[in-house]
Amino acid sequence: MSGITLTTINARFVHAALGLRCLRANMGELRTETRIREFVLGDRPADIAERLLADAPKIIGFGVYIWNTEETARTIAILKRVAPEIVIVIGGPEVSHETEGQRPCALADYVITGWGDVTFPRLCADIVSGQKPEQKIHAGVQPPLKDLVMPYGEYTEEDIARRFIYVEASRGCPFKCEFCLSALDKTAWPFEEGRFLRELKGLYDRGARHFRFVDRTFNLKIAASLAILEFFLERLSDDLFIHFELIPDHLPEKLKSAIARFPAGRLHFEVGIQTWDTAVQARISRKQDNAAAEANLRWLREESPALIHVDLIAGLPGEDLETFGRGFDRLHALRPHEIQVGILKRLRGAPIDRHTEPHAMRYSPDAPYVVLATDKLDFGDVQRIVRFARYWDLVGNSGRFHRTLPLLLADQPFARFMRFTDWLYVHTGKTHEFALEKLCGYLHQFLTGNGAAADAVAAAVAGDYEASGAKGRLPFMASGTRPERKAGLRGKLRQARHVHA
């Protein structure tokens, strides 16, 4: 055995792990002996172990994240029982902090905290040469970005044809939002622009069309943002799709002008509002000009061709159900294509932990460590928001109910959708596995049972049902009437998001 296997468990097949490719690209003389093996949630740990052992590796490096830590630990436990001679090295954000007491850390031979681009190859070289280090925990060395080999040649033809291609024009973040591990960064470090664009061209020339930028602050440096947008404007195609994460309150006119030149369905912007409450923002060290953020979101939605996805976080210290609801309503009034309601997670190492006792923050002991209660939200409140988020994905974010939603939300979106949430859970006891026909029936039942005009409700729900492409007939659909089947902009843009999935 002399080979090295890099592996991780992804959330879905379409997510190709950029971290593994960064490691292999920087393995130096050991690169040809290093292979990548990726798995997905749902794969049995025993099956994962069997497939890893088929390579007869000497070293296995696992990328550990909040979503795969338990499955990774189970896999390592099996490997240690059946092949204890294999050296297990783990790294990744989940094991870069609070290593004591973590099962993956206890099971592994070595743990790399932080950046692994340089430290993992050095560790492997020592192991392969027979000079195993005695210390178990290795703090990752952070090299200048110019010294790193870029990872894009590690994407295979299958990756390019069938998966999202993740790229990074920069690493790090200058902001200090305490719920995020990036709060620990001192700044953001850009890759050299010309070099990065040449790599991007190489991917494009190989056929890559679905690019997802992992930069925390894509629009931090406007000159670099413009160069990247111009690169794609020169290569527009019907199947091109690009995802960026934007700072909400920083959108100068030059950037707006470049964004406006794209056709509809090519750009997807993820915008983190998280909270509109100024007291909560100050409490978690989040600097955000709410007026500028609101104006920029309005421009993006009304005057740009981009698909807009905006994040809110429930459970932040000091925020209660009423203030969160007001924030949701303020955001909904701006009409983003998607509102992602997330529940606060206590990421290991994130500064949010300093609020645990002052605000009675109680988190799940198991990954993904979501908040269960605070001094402002009891356990029942949090559970209601969790169900709200799930049902909102099914109804509000699905793009299927643009006729029905106005009847459901009226002038109090959060309060009215929470009322539907509570009703639907009482009537079904479920948050998943809703067939479209059943969901339409529940919407019709709720609306007509709460005073909405039966004819208007039936027309709206039936119209949305048929516009989705469904070919059945709902029980309340009037005989002989079939609303026009026409996909709206939201539906078209959602289709564009998944063109390569």
What is the residue extent of each domain of the chain?
3-145, 155-377, 402-501
Q: What share of the chain is helix, strand, coil (3-state, %, to 5)?
A: 45, 15, 40
Spell 394-429 as b/e; 16+ CB within 10 A means b.
bbbbbbbbbbbbebbbeeebbeebbebbeebbeeee
How far CA 320 is from CA of 203, 326, 379, 388, in Å, comes to 46, 10, 12, 15
Q: Is 177 helix (H, G, I), strand (E, B) or coil?
A: coil
Query: What CA–CA distance (Å, rounded) separates 262 from 303?
Result: 12
Token pair of 198 as six digits: 């040449």
pTM of the entire predicted model: 0.91
Query: Which CB contacts under 8 angstroms, 24+ apart, belong to 438-443?
Result: 439/394, 439/395, 440/464, 440/465, 440/474, 441/474, 441/475, 441/476, 443/395, 443/401, 443/404, 443/408
- In this prediction, the residues of the chain whose per-residue pLDDT falls under 50 are 1, 479-501
Q: Decide: helix, strand or coil at residue 56.
A: coil
- The whole-angstrom separation of Cα 129 and Cα 493 is 53
Q: CATH number for the 3-145 domain, one of 3.30.930.10, 3.40.1710.10, 3.40.50.280, 3.40.50.1820?
A: 3.40.50.280
Given this structure, which CATH class describes domain 155-377?
alpha beta
In this prediction, residue 491 carries a pLDDT of 47
**Tokens encoding 84:** 């204890």
